[in-house]
Structure 1
């Protein structure tokens, strides 16, 4: 019995010693950061807590492949980061509300935040803002369009209510094709990616 107990104790100690390594692999993912100089640095990155109660970090955790030291970077410290095919950019972003009307600003004086880049062109960028759902502890993605020459963004959808047609028409007031399309009750545009592709094809010639 003494020998069996020793073997079991040794196995338990081994499992405990391996757990931190396994946990680290699960929480940190292979990715990169983009420094202000424009240099891309490969390493291990983490931007949120583990499931099931996910919480976004204000600053991403990052460490180089050959270093154990973890550093924290906020939106004002780097140009962006990414991992597993997801790319986040540091973007000026501010929400203002007046009598339940919301506007979204993106100018030099606006504090920066990390937004996920879904599609990008020189004329229009499709971002998503990740937000925490207080009820479910899951993350929601709120879509925004930004014309790089504009100091404002437009939120594209309003939850289950679909496209924010009034706001989109104001933001793309110089695009008659889009105004006609989203005014038409029989429009074939149902999703945000479809709307983005329509804008690229018809609004920037």
Structure 2
């Protein structure tokens, strides 16, 4: 073997190890496992969808599957997902959010969802993701949660932008933010989060 081939081969191995090491899975027992994590089934029969069991493959190539209820969080390619048991007084947790933007955290009545962590702070920003039946597109909605709240609220309505009236009520503790939302000085969820964390009183 030539020296250049060995360097090239070594670089590939190092990249694969680093890429795999960036993934992890945290069990409800607080044990953390490292390896390549997979939670979405790509294609095949039934189309693209979430796996019923989350898979993790270690450095030796051995794959183990875990029930979703036994997992508290995981990271895939640097993106963290946290487990929430969400309950909403509507027939559908997804479509029901159009009329009721509040998601209560309730392990007894709730349905488990792994929310994508966008940012965390006094006000945290998550995304709830789902697949429509028969559609491989991954849809998402933004949810916000104040530190001490036992619920999250939906912050946007897709292409129609922010749920302004909902956000104004939610941020009654920060009138200046509510005013900026009403006057459309703020148009993105990210801006709402930044304003609250940087400028609203604790």
Counterpart-to-counterpart distance in 1, 2:37 and 2:90: 34
1:101-121 CA distances to partner (integer Å, 9 max, x unpaired)?
213112454343211101001
CA RMSD of aligned residues (A): 2.5
Shift of 1:172: 1.5
Shift of 1:204: 3.9
Q: 1:41 to 1:162 in 2, by over 3 A?
A: same
Residue 193 of structure 2 is matched in structure 1 by 196
Q: Counterpart of 2:70 in 1: which secondary structure?
A: coil
Change (3 A) 1:173 1:108: farther
Aligned pairs for 1:67-82 within 5 A? 68-74=62-68, 76-82=69-75
Match among 29, 36, 41 for residue 44 of structure 1: 36
1:57 aligns with 2:82: no
1:78 Cα offset (Å)? 1.9
Aligned to 2:6: none
Q: How does 1:172-183 map to 2 (within 5 A)?
A: 172-183=171-182
Does 1:117 find its partner at 2:136?
Answer: no
What secondary structure is seen at the aligned counterpart in 2 of 1:97? coil
Matched, 1:143 2:129: no
2:85 paired with 1:87: no
Tell which deviates more after alignment, 107-116 or 142-151.
Answer: 107-116
DSSP-derived class of the 1:65 partner: coil
TM-score, normalization by structure 2: 0.75
CA 111–50 in structure 1, closer or farther in 2 if over 3 Å, else same:
closer
Match of 1:18 in 2: none
The residue aligned with 2:99 is 101
- Relative to structure 1, is the Cα distance of residues 132 and 56 closer, same or farther in structure 2, using a 3 angstrom cutoff? same
| Structure 2 gap segments, 5+ residues each | 1-15
1:51-76 Cα deviation digits (max 9, x unpaired): 594212243112332352421230x3
1:195 is displaced (CA, Å) by: 1.5
Q: Spell out, residue by residue over 1:166-187, the C-alpha distance to the aligned partner (whole angstroms, 9 max, x if none).
A: 11112211111111111114x1
Q: How many residues align?
A: 174
CA distance in 1, matches of 2:106, 2:148: 10
Larger Rg: 1
